């Protein structure tokens, strides 16, 4: 996936999700400057079906998640993780 497509998808998903993280529902910040994408609420592209498990870059497999959720998810199933995050924000 090239840089332009990544940018477009992040922008598009940000609008679709009304700026909220797919997992925890918190408002995220969207920036295209690398230096701004290190905060817990930075919007990141997330693969529902992880790439290591064979998940692709197709649109249906991508959501926008805050960096914190992205990093914390690990090997958890996306729907299970989402319910956990929505329920208790700090799982
Ligand atoms: Zn989140």
Question: Per residue in 48-76, pLDDT tens?
Answer: 999 888 999 999 999 999 999 999 999 99
What is the distance in A from the centroid of ligand 1 to the CA of 82? 9
DSSP string, 19-66: TB-TTT--B-B---SGGGTTSTTBEEEEESS-GGGT--S-GGGEEEEE
Beta bridge partners of 45: 64
Please say if the pLDDT value at position 90 is more than 80. Answer: no
What pLDDT shows up at residue 40?
94
- Whole-number Å distance, alpha carbon 87 to ligand 1 midpoint, is 12
CATH number for the domain harbouring residue 42: 1.10.30.50
The per-residue pLDDT for 85 is 93
**Please, which residues have CB less than 5 A from ligand 1, an ion?**
21, 23-24, 66, 69
pTM of the shown model: 0.90
Q: Ligand 1 centroid vs 3 CA: distance in angstroms?
A: 23
Domains contained in the chain, number? 1
Confidence of residue 89 (pLDDT cuts 50, 70, 90): low
CA of 65 to the centre of ligand 1 (A): 5
Question: Domain limits at 74?
Answer: 3-87
Q: Per residue in 8-23, pLDDT tens?
A: 999 999 999 999 999 9
């Amino acid at each position: 996936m090239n840089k332009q497509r990544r940018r477009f998808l992040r922008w598009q998903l940000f609008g679709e999700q009304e700026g909220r993280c797919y997992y925890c529902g918190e408002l995220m910040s969207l920036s295209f400057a690398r230096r701004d994408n290190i905060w817990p609420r930075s919007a990141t592209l997330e693969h529902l079906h992880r790439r290591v498990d064979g998940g692709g870059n197709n649109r249906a497999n991508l959501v926008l998640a805050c960096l914190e959720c992205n990093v914390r998810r690990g090997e958890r199933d996306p729907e299970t993780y989402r319910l956990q995050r929505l329920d208790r924000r700090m799982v």
